C-alpha cells in the first residue's frame, strides 16, 4: 500500500515537473489559462517577426521617397543626409546595418542550435555543419559592413574583367548573336564579384540548404520557410546581375513594361535588397522555431536520446 502511494506521489511530482518545464516560444513559462486568455496570448517571436518585416517596409518606403526627391529635383533641408542614410543602392548606411544585424542573428541561432544539439548529445548527424553555417553568415555580416565583396569586385573589374568580357562577347557574336543582343549583354555583366564568387556561394549555400532541408524533414512549415528563403535569394541575385549589364538592351526589359531604364534599375535595386532581407528573415524564423522544438525536446527528455527519437519529439512539439 505504501509502495502504491509512493508511486502515485512520484508520478504526480513527475507530471508537475513536466508541466513546469513547458515554455512558450518567447521563453515565458506557460501557466494554466482559459481558452479566452490563450487566444489573447501573442508570442514574443511573433512580435519580433512583425517588427522585422515592418523594418523592411520602412526601408522600402524611405528608398522610394529618395527616388522621388531625386527624380523631381526637390531640394529640402538635410535631403542629402536622408538620401545617404536610406539609399538601398549605397553601402555603410542604415539598410546595410540592418542587413548585417539579420545575418548576425542567423549566426547566433546556428551557433545555439549546434551548442544545444552537442549538449544533449543528439543523434542527429553532421552537427558540425551548424558551425559552418554560422561562420558563413558571420562572414556575410562582416562583409555587409566592411563592403569586402565590393572592393574585390572593383579590383576584378579593373584588372580582370575587361579582357574576360571581350572574350565572352566575341564568343557569342561568333555563335550568331548580335552585339546588342540580350545574351551578350547578360553574359558580360559588370558585376564580376558574382561571377567569381558564384561557385563558392552556390556550393556552400547549396550544401547548407540541403543540410537544413534534411534537418527539417519532420517540420513542413520550416521547409516552406527554407523554400521561400531560397527563392528570395535567387531572385535578388538575378536582379543584382542585371543591374551590372553594360548599355542594357532597354527594349528587351523595361520598355515592354512601359518603364524607363533609370526607374527600372532603381526598382530592381529596391526589390533586390528587400528580398535579401526577407529571405534572411525566413531563415531566422526557421532556425528559431527549430531551436524552440529542440529546447522542448531537451526539457521533456533530459536523458540521452537514441536514434530518431529526438527528431520525432521535435515533430510532436512542432505540431
**Minimal CA–CA distance to 269: which of 145, 90, 140?**
90
Q: Is 130 exposed, middle or buried (0-12, 13-18, 19+ CB in 10 A)?
A: buried
Judge whether 233 and 240 are in contact, CB under 8 Å: no
Mean pLDDT for 126-153 is 83
Judge whether 261 and 248 are in contact, CB under 8 Å: yes
For residue 250, pLDDT over 80 is answered with: no
**In the prediction, which pLDDT does 212 show?**
92
Residues of the chain with pLDDT > 70, as a percent, come to: 62
For residue 315, pLDDT over 80 is answered with: no
pLDDT tier at 132 (50, 70, 90 boundaries)?
very high
Can you give the pTM of this predicted structure?
Answer: 0.71
Distances (CA, A) of 66 to 24, 69, 79, 145: 41, 5, 9, 21
The residue to which cell 564579384 is assigned: 193
**In the prediction, which pLDDT does 143 show?**
83
**Minimal CA–CA distance to 280: which of 117, 47, 128, 108?**
108
Mean pLDDT for 164-180 is 66
Q: Using CA of residue 85, residue 87, residue 92, residue 98, what is the dihedral sign?
A: positive
Q: Which has more pLDDT, 228 or 4?
A: 228
Helix or strand or coil: residue 29? strand
Rounded Cα distance between 148 and 216, Å, is: 32
pLDDT in tens, 191-241: 555 566 667 778 888 899 999 999 998 889 999 999 999 999 999 888 877
pLDDT in tens, 30-56: 444 444 444 444 578 889 999 999 999
Amino acid at each position: 500500500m505504501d509502495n502504491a502511494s509512493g508511486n502515485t506521489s512520484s508520478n504526480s511530482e513527475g507530471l508537475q515537473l513536466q508541466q513546469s518545464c513547458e515554455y512558450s516560444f518567447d521563453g515565458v513559462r506557460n501557466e494554466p489559462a482559459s481558452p479566452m486568455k490563450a487566444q489573447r496570448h501573442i508570442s514574443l517571436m511573433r512580435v519580433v517577426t512583425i517588427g522585422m518585416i515592418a523594418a523592411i517596409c520602412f526601408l522600402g518606403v524611405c528608398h522610394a521617397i529618395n527616388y522621388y526627391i531625386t527624380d523631381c529635383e526637390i531640394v529640402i533641408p538635410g535631403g542629402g543626409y536622408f538620401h545617404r542614410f536610406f539609399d538601398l543602392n549605397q553601402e555603410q548606411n542604415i539598410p546595410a546595418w540592418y542587413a548585417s544585424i539579420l545575418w548576425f542573428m542567423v549566426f547566433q541561432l546556428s551557433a545555439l542550435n549546434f551548442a544545444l544539439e552537442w549538449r544533449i548529445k543528439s543523434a542527429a548527424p553532421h552537427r558540425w555543419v551548424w558551425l559552418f553555417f554560422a561562420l558563413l553568415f558571420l562572414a556575410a555580416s562582416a562583409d555587409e559592413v566592411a563592403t569586402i565583396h565590393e572592393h574585390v569586385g572593383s579590383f576584378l573589374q579593373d584588372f580582370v574583367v575587361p579582357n574576360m568580357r571581350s572574350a565572352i562577347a566575341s564568343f557569342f557574336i561568333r555563335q550568331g548573336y548580335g552585339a546588342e543582343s540580350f545574351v551578350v549583354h547578360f553574359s558580360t555583366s559588370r558585376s564580376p564579384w558574382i561571377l567569381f564568387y558564384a561557385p563558392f556561394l552556390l556550393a556552400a549555400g547549396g550544401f547548407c540548404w540541403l543540410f537544413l532541408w534534411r534537418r527539417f524533414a519532420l517540420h513542413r512549415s520550416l521547409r516552406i520557410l527554407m523554400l521561400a528563403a531560397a527563392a528570395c535569394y535567387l531572385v535578388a541575385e538575378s536582379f543584382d546581375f542585371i543591374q551590372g549589364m553594360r548599355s542594357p538592351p532597354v527594349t528587351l526589359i523595361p520598355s515592354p513594361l512601359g518603364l524607363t531604364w533609370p526607374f527600372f534599375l532603381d526598382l530592381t535595386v529596391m526589390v533586390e535588397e528587400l528580398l535579401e532581407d526577407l529571405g534572411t528573415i525566413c531563415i531566422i524564423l526557421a532556425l528559431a522555431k527549430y531551436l524552440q522544438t529542440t529546447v522542448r525536446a531537451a526539457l521533456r527528455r533530459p536523458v540521452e536520446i537514441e536514434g530518431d527519437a529526438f527528431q520525432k519529439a521535435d515533430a510532436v512539439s512542432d505540431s
